[in-house]
C-alpha cells in the first residue's frame, strides 16, 4: 500500500506506479562477497559473487543456496555462471586469486535472497530463508577443475612480472603434456598443401578420427570428425555429440577408408567413456554467441598407442588477435561431401585462409559479434560441408601442426541444398577455449 502524503492525487498515483514497477532489493548478508547488480544487457537484477584468496592449484567448487518467495513454474530456473569466460577466470585466479560469478534469478518479483555461499565445503556466507508461504529453495553449484600443469607454467611465467607490466603472453608454445610433445603435430607425408579438395593418403593427417553412431541392427554410421589431443582424449564439435550417449559412439583412430569398418591396417576401434560438451554451448539457441562454444571433449575408455597412423595434434595458446593482413592459412581434412554433393569414403583436405569477422559477416549476410569466439575461413573453391563437422583446422609452425579451429558451421545453397563453396565456413576458435580443453583432458594417470 502507498501512504498518502499531502500531495496532489496525480503525484501519489505516479509514486504508486513507480514503486510497483520494481521489486525491492533484499539486503546482502555479506556485502564484501555478494551484491545485487543490474545485468548490462537484459537490465534484470542478478546476484554477483566475488571469491578472493582462491588457490590456483586446487579444484574450486562453489555451492550457492537462494530462497525465493514464490512457487516456480518449470521454465523458471536459476543459473550460476562465471562472470568471465573460463579462460579469463583462470587468469584472474593465477594473477589475482579471485573468481567471479553471477546468478540468474528465476523471477524478478520478488527478488530471491541469498541463504549461503560454500566454497569447497567451507561456508563463507550465511543468510536466512524466507519464512513465509510460498517459498522455494534453490541449490546451485559450479566446479572449476584446476589444470595443474597449465597453472604451474603460468605461475612461473608471471612470477617475475610486476603489476605495471602484466600482460598476456603472445608467443606460440605447445601445451601438449610433456610425454606427447615428441609426437604431436608431425606427419612425414605432408609436403605441399592444396587449395582445393585433394584426396589424402593414409597417415597423412594421423590426428584425424572418424566418428560413427552405433545402431542396434545395422552397421555403424559415420557422422562427424574428431581430433586426437592426448592419448586418452579427442576433440570435436559439441553439436555432433551433445545429444548422444558415450556408448552410442565408436571412434576409429587410424582409419582412412570408412567404407571398411574393420580394425587393422593401422586403425583401431576405440570406445568412448565420457562426453564433455562445453557448458556455455546452447544447442537450442539461434544466436551465434550462444553457440560459439561449439566444442566437446571425448574421453576414451583406454589410452591410445601412437603410431605413424595415430598421433595427437599440438595445442597452442596464441591469444593475439587474428591478423587478416598476414592471411593465415590452415588445413582442414574430413570425410564430408564434396562439390558434387556426394559422400566420400576416404578423406579430402583443402587449404583455408582466415578472414576478418567483418568480411565474414558480409559474405554470410549475418552479424558476427566481436565477442563471439569464432572465426571464418575461405576455402578458395572448397569448403567444409556436411560430414566435416568437428574437423580440425590445423596450421603449420616450425615443422609441426597446431590446432587452430574446429569446423562448426557451413552454408547450404537455398536452391540446390548443396554446400555453397562461395561462402565461408565458421570455426570454433580453439585458443579461446584452451584452459577448458586442458581442464577436461588432464588425467593424473596419464602423467
Region 435-440: mean pLDDT is 85
DSSP state of 155: H
Pairwise pLDDT comparison (190 vs 31), residue with the higher score: 31
Average pLDDT value for residue range 440-445: 63
Q: Which residues are registered as beta bridge partners of 37?
A: 46
pLDDT of 138 > 90? The answer is yes
Determine phi and psi for 435, rounding to 5 degrees.
-70, -35
Residue 150 has pLDDT above 70, yes or no: no
Residue 61 burial (C-beta neighbours within 10 Å; 0-12, 13-18, 19+): middle
In order of 106, 111, 159, 243, 259, the CA distances from 75 in angstroms are 8, 17, 47, 20, 45
Please report the pLDDT score of residue 425 as a whole number: 86
How many whole angstroms separate alpha carbon 290 and alpha carbon 301?
Answer: 31
- CA-based nearest residue to 93, from 120, 66, 53, 133: 53
Q: What is the DSSP letter of 73?
A: P
pLDDT in tens, 284-309: 776 666 678 999 999 999 999 999 89
| 361's grid cell | 559477416
- Residues near 332 by Cβ (< 8 Å), separated by ≥ 6? 349, 350, 352, 377, 379, 384, 388, 391, 392, 393, 394, 407, 425
How do residues 327-372 score in pLDDT, each as one tens digit?
A: 688 888 888 665 554 567 888 888 888 888 888 889 888 888 888 8
Q: Phi and psi dihedrals of 94, rounded to 5?
A: -70, -45
* 3-state secondary structure at position 93: helix
| 203 φ/ψ sector (left φ>0, alpha ψ -120 to 50, else beta) | left
Helix, strand, coil percentages in the chain from 3-state DSSP, rounded to 5: 15, 30, 55
Position 99 scores a pLDDT of 94
Q: What is the pLDDT of residue 16?
A: 39
| pLDDT at site 418 | 64
378 or 116, which is more confident? 116
pLDDT at residue 237, rounded to an integer: 94
Residue 94, pLDDT above cutoff 50: yes
Rounded CA-CA distance 303/177 in Å is 14
C-alpha grid cell for residue 79? 543459473
Q: What is the pLDDT of residue 444?
A: 41
Average pLDDT, the chain: 79
Percent of the chain with pLDDT over 90: 39
pLDDT digits (tens, 9 = 90+) for 199-223: 667 788 999 999 999 988 889 999 9
Task: Give the pLDDT confidence score for residue 412 in this predicted structure.
Answer: 64
Of the candidates 119, 123, 118, 125, the residue with the CA atom closest to the CA atom of residue 60: 119
Which one is predicted more confidently, 327 or 15? Answer: 327
Q: How many Å apart are CA 396 and CA 400, to the nearest integer?
A: 6
| Residues paired with residue 211 on neighbouring β-strands, in sequence order | 224, 251
State what percent of residues in the chain have pLDDT above 70: 73
Average pLDDT value for residue range 431-447: 73
Measured CA to CA in angstroms, residue 440 lies from 160, 181, 276, 431, 436 at distances of: 29, 18, 7, 15, 6
Amino acid at each position: 500500500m502507498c501512504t498518502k502524503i499531502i500531495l496532489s492525487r496525480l503525484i501519489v498515483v505516479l509514486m504508486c506506479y513507480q514503486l510497483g514497477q520494481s521489486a525491492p532489493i533484499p539486503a546482502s548478508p555479506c556485502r564484501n562477497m555478494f551484491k545485487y547488480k543490474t545485468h548490462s544487457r537484459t537490465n534484470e537484477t542478478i546476484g554477483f559473487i566475488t571469491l578472493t584468496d582462491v588457490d590456483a592449484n586446487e579444484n574450486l567448487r562453489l555451492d550457492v543456496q537462494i530462497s525465493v518467495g514464490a512457487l516456480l513454474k518449470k521454465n523458471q530456473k536459476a543459473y550460476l555462471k562465471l562472470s568471465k569466460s573460463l579462460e579469463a577466470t583462470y587468469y584472474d585466479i593465477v594473477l589475482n586469486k579471485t573468481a567471479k560469478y553471477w546468478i540468474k534469478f528465476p523471477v524478478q518479483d520478488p527478488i530471491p535472497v541469498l541463504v549461503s555461499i560454500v566454497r569447497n565445503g567451507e561456508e563463507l556466507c550465511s543468510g536466512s530463508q524466507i519464512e513465509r508461504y510460498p517459498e522455494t529453495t534453490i541449490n546451485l553449484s559450479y566446479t572449476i577443475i584446476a589444470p595443474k600443469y597449465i597453472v604451474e607454467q603460468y605461475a612461473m611465467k608471471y612470477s617475475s612480472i610486476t603489476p605495471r607490466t602484466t600482460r598476456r603472453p603472445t608467443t606460440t608454445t605447445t601445451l601438449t603434456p610433456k610425454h606427447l610433445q615428441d609426437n604431436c603435430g608431425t606427419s612425414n607425408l605432408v609436403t605441399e598443401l592444396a587449395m582445393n579438395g585433394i584426396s589424402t593418403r593414409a597417415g597423412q593427417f594421423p590426428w584425424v578420427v572418424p566418428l560413427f553412431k552405433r545402431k542396434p541392427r545395422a552397421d555403424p554410421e559415420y557422422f562427424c570428425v574428431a581430433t586426437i589431443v592426448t592419448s586418452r582424449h579427442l576433440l570435436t564439435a559439441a553439436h555432433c555429440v551433445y545429444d548422444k550417449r558415450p556408448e552410442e559412439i565408436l571412434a576409429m583412430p587410424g582409419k582412412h577408408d570408412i567404407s571398411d569398418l574393420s580394425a587393422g591396417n593401422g586403425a583401431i576401434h576405440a570406445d568412448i567413456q565420457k562426453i564433455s560438451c562445453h557448458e556455455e554451448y546452447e544447442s537450442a539457441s539461434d544466436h551465434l554467441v550462444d553457440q560459439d562454444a561449439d566444442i566437446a571433449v571425448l574421453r576414451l575408455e583406454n589410452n591410445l598407442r601412437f603410431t605413424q597412423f595415430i598421433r595427437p595434434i599440438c595445442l597452442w595458446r596464441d591469444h593475439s588477435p587474428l591478423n587478416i593482413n598476414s592471411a593465415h592459412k590452415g588445413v582442414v581434412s574430413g570425410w564430408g561431401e564434396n562439390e558434387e554433393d556426394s559422400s566420400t569414403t576416404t578423406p579430402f583436405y583443402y587449404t583455408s585462409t582466415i578472414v576478418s569477422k567483418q568480411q565474414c559477416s558480409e559474405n554470410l549476410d549475418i552479424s558476427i559479434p566481436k565477442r563471439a569466439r569464432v572465426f571464418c575461413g575461405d576455402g578458395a573453391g572448397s569448403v567444409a560441408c556436411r560430414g566435416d563437422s568437428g574437423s580440425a583446422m590445423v596450421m603449420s609452425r616450425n615443422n609441426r601442426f597446431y590446432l587452430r579451429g574446429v569446423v562448426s558451421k557451413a552454408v547450404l545453397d537455398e536452391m540446390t541444398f548443396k554446400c555453397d563453396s562461395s561462402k565461408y565456413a565458421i570455426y570454433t576458435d580453439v585458443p579461446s577455449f584452451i584452459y577448458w580443453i586442458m581442464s577436461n583432458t588432464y588425467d593424473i594417470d596419464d602423467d
